[in-house]
Amino acid sequence: MTQSNTRVRDLTTGSPIKLILLFSLPILVGNLFQQFYNMADSIIVGKFIGTNAFAAVGATGSISFLILGFVNGMSSGFCIPVAQYFGAGDHRNMRRCVSNILWLSLAVATLVTTLMMFTTRGLLTLMDTPENIMEDSFLYIIIIFAGIPFCMFYNITAGLMRSVGDSRSPLYFLMISSAINIILDLLFIAVFSFGVAGAALATILSQLISGILCLIWIIKKFPILHPKKEDLPFDLNISKRLLAIGLPMALQFSITAVGSIILQSAVNTLGSDVIASISAASKAQNIVFAPMETLGITMATYCGQNRGAGRVDRIQKGVFQCAIASLLLSIASCLFVRSCGKYVVLLFMDAAETEILAYVSQYLSVCGLFYPALCLIFVFRNSIQGMGWGGPAMTAGIFELVARAFVANMFVRSVGFTAVCYANPAAWVAADVLLIPMYFYVIHKLKKIIADAPKEAAKPENIDETLETDDVVSIQSNH
């Protein structure tokens, strides 16, 4: 391995839990920085513009999750075959994946951005967004959607580096991006008085900068990811394999988000105070979600590399150890939000807003009890996806959608805010009902695939057939 490739990390040898924790630490710091600058947006919007502006930004959360979740899921899915080929030592197919990821990303970003330019206002109207915050909500989210290519640009470049074991470099660029975001927030909102548009502009410009930095770093330090001339043409078979993993992951996020939109529509009928309280509580929760989500992201790369190497035993050991660590983390997170969550909210909410703060406290107290169910979603869903099965994760999203929609339609409008508090926990439990047994099914199936594969098919140059045909196509035809 050349000196310029020293940043790659092989996750197929060594102590699973040690590798998982070391790999996840930079991602965690990066996620916390991301939450920090998201909170900075909220603090600056809440303090400099007002509660209605804060509610306007919060009201776009579910629609943002719908679209950006689709884009982020697609980006993550595209990078999984790269990790699998890296684990198998098949650098030729890995480079072909990189080239086709660029073609597909350009097409997806262009299509989604164009679509959202024409449909966003209609979606906000369907969600019963209150009139007093409608225009600010539309202005904020339409600018965010205009930056979809920047968002996908960063996620792809960062995901490629993580696929070959480097979780540190994306962290450094995200930290720089976070600082730039905060500076631009203050400049656009406090100095130039751009309002919520300033917060949106700051976000998309910082994403563009972080993506550019990641690309420059890949060019300088990761020749292993550089497509050669013969790798550049569009390859239908490689692209089909990328879409077979990326599309179900994207749809999983979007299906989950549809449930959030249905819930948000019900919440919107309760008024801007409730909208603001849910938005504020979500900001506090995002801090404690970051460590759990980080372990999940790590498991996608870990399982991807070990799937490529045919090490099912290491996958099982790593998933078990990570699940235990995540459960312990979820208990600590529950204790934190129930005792300290309301103080975090005061960073971007005036203490005089006593009714909103009471809602926040109730919401966090209920949701915190169900964090163990949430942490298991992160571990098992990402592990299944990392092994190449996108269908079960997408189906779990349907379970979440049904649970949220049921609570929203049956209880929120009649029971009120208390029902809102139980909507997300119901979705988390519903997803686990599918994901946990599905993980054991996938492990059983994967063992059989590897045991039945002829020795020559297990070689790196023949991995395309064993991974694509058995892992992706056949399993989705059964589900």
pLDDT tens figures, 361-375: 888 889 999 999 999
The predicted structure's pLDDT at residue 60:
84
Query: CA Rg, the chain, in Å?
Result: 22
What's the mean pLDDT in 72-77? 88
**DSSP secondary structure code for residue 348 in this structure:** S
Q: Which two tokens stand for residue 165?
A: 């074991």
Contacts of 37 (CB under 8 A, 6+ apart): 177, 178, 181, 182, 206
The predicted structure's pLDDT at residue 464:
40
Q: Return mean pLDDT, the chain.
A: 83
pLDDT tens per residue across span 183-198: 998 899 888 888 889 9
What is the C-alpha separation between 242 and 79, in angstroms, rounded? 8
pLDDT tens per residue across span 124-177: 888 888 888 899 899 999 999 999 999 999 999 999 998 888 888 888 888 888
What is the C-alpha separation between 343 and 50, in angstroms, rounded? 19
- Domain locations in the chain as residue ranges: 14-474
What is the C-alpha separation between 210 and 216, in angstroms, rounded? 10
In this prediction, residue 121 has a pLDDT band, given cuts at 50, 70 and 90, of: very high
Nearest to 224 by CA among 10, 26, 23, 1: 1
| Greatest mean pLDDT among 47-56, 216-225, 349-358, 412-421 | 216-225
- Percent pLDDT > 70 in the chain is 90
The predicted structure's pLDDT at residue 109:
94
Find where tokens 């970003």 sit.
109
pLDDT tens per residue across span 5-60: 445 677 888 899 999 998 888 888 877 777 776 666 677 877 777 777 877 887 78
Q: Is the pLDDT of residue 107 over 90?
A: yes
The predicted structure's pLDDT at residue 349:
66
